[in-house]
Amino acid sequence: MKVAIVHDWFNEVGGAEKVVKELLFCYPTADVYCLFDFFDDTKRAKFLSNKTTKKTFIQKIPFAKKFYRFLFPFFPKAIEGLDLSEYDLIISSSYCVAKGIIKHKNQLHICYCHSPVRYAWDLKEEYVDAVKEPISKTVFSYLLDKLRDWDKRTSNRVDYFIANSINVSNRIKQNYNRDSIVIYPPVDINKFKIETIKKNYYITVSRLVSYKKTEQLIKAFEQFPELELVVAGDGPNRKKLEQSAPKNVKIMGYIETNQLIELIKNAKGFVAAANEDFGITIVEAQACGTPVIVPYLGGYKESVTPETGLFFEDQRLESIVKAIQQFEKENKHFEKDAFIKNTSNFNKERFHQQITEFISSKYSEFKHA
């Protein structure tokens, strides 16, 4: 069985890239395809088993590394241009256009869907509203509508969908009218150790993009000058956030894994405000014995329990502020066993077993049909 893994792109590291790493553990001889790949040697070794990826023409566009988000109108054509005709099995790891690859009838395509492309579906209005100039806003909205139409149309190119959460499974049904099974993404629980003695700071970890709502967290902590917030992660909004951050908020940028684990492990709380598809980092925080403070939205409903964190109502600033006040006031003791019990549902060994069993079963059915 010759296998290809198709991922949207490799630029920054997030939960989707951790999934690709574990897919390669399951299928070590697979070739990897993507729109573009700007990983350095360290990230390539860690997440891609030192493999050289096969890329599209997007890779050669000047300044693509920095401004790739503006190139989204070209993504469908680029992904459709990949030649995957030599493979028996195609596994797409898709949160944008990877699932839109073209295959022939003797190939099986299984999509591990992190989400239908969010800025063309549920986040479209938010992205359009961020554009100030009326003509640009109109053009941007039109291009996103075209991407959404393509996204829906090409969902029929997938033989089977795997969703990373019930949350995403519902969106696959709503947007594509396709069924899916849920296999939670892998978390390397074994590399984390629960720390019960905490230091006096909070932490958040995410890509610094608008929909992650990091700016809301910073504004919330501006109202608590006696509390410290550490912001780990990089992205296009970093400079803006650095300029607006108060003295009690430290924006650290990208932090290497071992140092990041120590920061999460020693924090008194992990805060987040995004409406996540699932939220691997939130599970990692719990695996460190660090309680999480998150909105009762999206994948967090599946990855957090009242015994391992505190929910707040929504993404509004007032809700975040109220939750921090409550967390400080209650000073609740969180039991070590509760963290162990909850995070064991998401370990990477479970992912390896479920993903290989499902794919083997469907491939066997396909070959004998």
Give the pLDDT score at 218. Answer: 96
Domain check: are 164 and 217 in the same one? Answer: no
Selection from 292, 315, 316, 314 nearest residue 305 by Cα: 292
Does the pLDDT value for residue 140 go beyond 90? no
Domain check: are 134 and 228 in the same one? Answer: no
Give the pLDDT score at 321. Answer: 97
Domain check: are 335 and 360 in the same one? Answer: no
Structural domain count, the chain? 2
Give the pLDDT score at 211. Answer: 84
Give the pLDDT score at 14. Answer: 84
Domain check: are 352 and 297 in the same one? Answer: no
Split at pLDDT 50, 70, 90, the class of 215 is: very high
Domain check: are 148 and 56 in the same one? Answer: yes
Structural domain boundaries, residue 33: 3-186+347-367
CATH number at residue 153: 3.40.50
Residue ranges of E strands in the chain: 3-7, 31-33, 89-94, 108-113, 160-163, 180-182, 202-205, 229-232, 249-253, 269-271, 292-295, 309-312
- Percent of the chain at pLDDT exceeding 90: 82
Model pLDDT for residues 227-269, shown as the tens digit of each residue: 999 999 988 889 999 999 999 999 999 888 889 999 999 999 9
Give the pLDDT score at 243. Answer: 93
Give the pLDDT score at 32. Answer: 98
Q: Say what the pTM is.
A: 0.87
Selected residue with higher pLDDT from 291 and 206: 291
Give the pLDDT score at 129. Answer: 72
Domain check: are 291 and 361 in the same one? Answer: no
Residues 6+ away with beta carbon under 8 Å from 71: 58, 61, 64
Residues 6+ away with beta carbon under 8 Å from 73: 143, 146, 147
Picking from 10-19, 52-61, 318-327, 355-364, which range would have the lowest pLDDT averaged per residue?
Answer: 10-19
Domain check: are 172 and 255 in the same one? Answer: no
Picking from 34-38, 114-118, 291-295, which range would have the lowest pLDDT averaged per residue?
Answer: 114-118
CATH number at residue 289: 3.40.50.2000
Domain check: are 333 and 253 in the same one? Answer: yes
Split at pLDDT 50, 70, 90, the class of 47 is: very high
Does the pLDDT value for residue 207 go beyond 90? no
Give the pLDDT score at 136. Answer: 80
Domain check: are 200 and 332 in the same one? Answer: yes
Split at pLDDT 50, 70, 90, the class of 279 is: confident
Instruction: Give the C-alpha separation, 184 to 164, whole Å.
Output: 5
Domain check: are 136 and 222 in the same one? Answer: no
Instruction: Give the C-alpha separation, 269 to 247, whole Å.
Output: 19
Domain check: are 172 and 203 in the same one? Answer: no
Q: Among the ranges 180-184, 231-235, 331-335, which has the highest mean pLDDT value? A: 180-184
Split at pLDDT 50, 70, 90, the class of 166 is: very high
Domain check: are 39 and 177 in the same one? Answer: yes
Write down how long the chain is. Answer: 369
Model pLDDT for residues 64-105, shown as the tens digit of each residue: 998 998 899 999 999 999 999 999 999 999 999 999 999 999
- DSSP 3-state of 198: coil
Residues 6+ away with beta carbon under 8 Å from 304: 282, 286, 292, 294, 311, 342
